[in-house]
Structure 1
Amino acid sequence: MSEAICVLGALHMDLTIEVEHLPSVGETEIGKGLEVHPGGKGATQAVAAARLGASVSLVGAVGDDGWGADLRSALLAEGVNLSGVVSSSAAVTGVALRARHASGESATVIGPGANRMVDVAVIEAAREAFAHAKVFLCQLEIGEDALSAAVELARASGALVVLNAAPARELSREFLAKIDVIVANRREGARLARVEKDECSDSGLMRRIAALGPSKVVLTRGKRGAMFFDGERTFEQAGFPAERLDSTAASDAFCGALAVALAEEQRWDQALRFACAASALSAEVQGSFPSLPTRDVLEPRL
């Protein structure tokens, strides 16, 4: 039987244009083509976990429009339970506008749209999804009140609470003390710890984050892999070689895979290896959903 995971997060339509140069302030860049794919950190992490064999429920919101319908269809096709996803006629479906460089790096602007409609009432209505979850996975694209209510509900249900601290923002010690596992890159981790990005080493940054309350800290390091700290031990997992075409969903592939590994009660060294392999595979394919690996693709890479 597949392990149950509940994901709370944003649902967007991703509009991506490839550019030769990522524009800075005041610049206009003419790109090549337009790709339209389902996305949003919540939706992408949910699909990442589902493709790796988990039974996944998603909590979030879309607009009562064509893009909302497209997102629902794409998620249902992946086997994601959408009983916790509401449709709002008061807002359009969220959109992410992305400029992507040939190197795989990108710059993104998000219009949250209906994702702002996710409130405590939406969380309460999704109690069933939380009740059956072994792991609860969330990010920071959802409002604070809804996120706090969801974490409380997940804890009360006995789920392991995993927070991907993206996009970067400061969080209270009271909230962070309720998190079992926090996943962040250096920029996100520095924002959490209220230090400059290069002020301390990776291990030092993890210790500062852990001092704020989370039981375990995972620091993602792109193609260099990831590091782990649980208050006592620190270890590294090297990244997997990859031909990096598009890093858009690499971190979401990592988080979805990590949630699956933890739900399966893999050892931490195994879980980080599993997640790093998923991240590397994602970077080799363009587009958010298209890049997320299945178990059949991931296990040979391991």
Structure 2
Amino acid sequence: MTFRHPEHQYLDLLRLALEQGDERLDRTGVGTRSVFGAMVRFDLSSGVAPILTTKRVYWKTAVKEMLWFLTGGTNIRALLRDNVRIWTDWPLARYRADTGEDVSQEEFERRILEDDAFASRWGELGPVYGKQWRRWLGADGREHDQIAQLVGTLRSNPASRRMLFHGWNVSEIGEMALPPCHMVYQYHVTSDGRLNCLLFQRSVDLLLGAPFNYVGAAALQLMLAQQADLRPGEFIWVAGDAHLYLNHLEQAREQLQRDPRDLPRMQLSRRANSIDEYTIDDFQVDGYAPHAAIKADVAV
């Protein structure tokens, strides 16, 4: 049987969007080529990680973002302190629109870092991922920690079909800088102790977003498995609207010309006392030798 590199699943989807995607206007005004409905599967049981090799993926940034989600944070200041700038575009666009000041990203980020009042006013993203995952506000006024509940169920009732969390809180969507794209994470434990994850993503920027989402979800799967004394199993990613922005077409063509290399291995270097105590230093990636990075602009 001929081995087919698992990264080809992603490349096939990239090619499908590029060559057959429905070209349409979108919220950002940039335009996309869109495919509706897609699935990729990665087996994590041998220690390999879905960190794409046909371009360099800055995996530490993706893991830091996931760790930030787990804190319940919703302000970009914490990310900037960790040298993560992938969320700056949205509050920066709001600041420019509301004030009329054409401030540079560098100056905006400097103010966020140095000025408490400015950070509180302009660095806030609203009730995005972390808020919903750790502090979902019920109609009765009580907050629900979906992650803590998930860890508890993985430990006490691993055969449950209710091991999931999601971020689409209808009552708070309008307050978010960006509604959740990776919406629902569901988990499944096999009879021999492997933890599987299915992530449903309603909307995904294939060139920039999907590679980060794969890494973040895999990192979370490793943490959850360790906390529940399980082994990582399969990561299944399901997309609703999977799209290429029209200003990413040349970059996609460039990436499709490259052959995948061996996927790296990712492991945790220690067991944290709880899901809340992991840091970026706990993640070790070995054997990552990707092709060069491919630059592209984020559509806001």
- State TM-score, norm by structure 2: 0.27
Quick check: which one's strand share is greater? 1
Q: Which has the higher contact order (CA 8 A, sep 6+)?
A: 2
- State TM-score, norm by structure 1: 0.27
Larger radius of gyration: 2
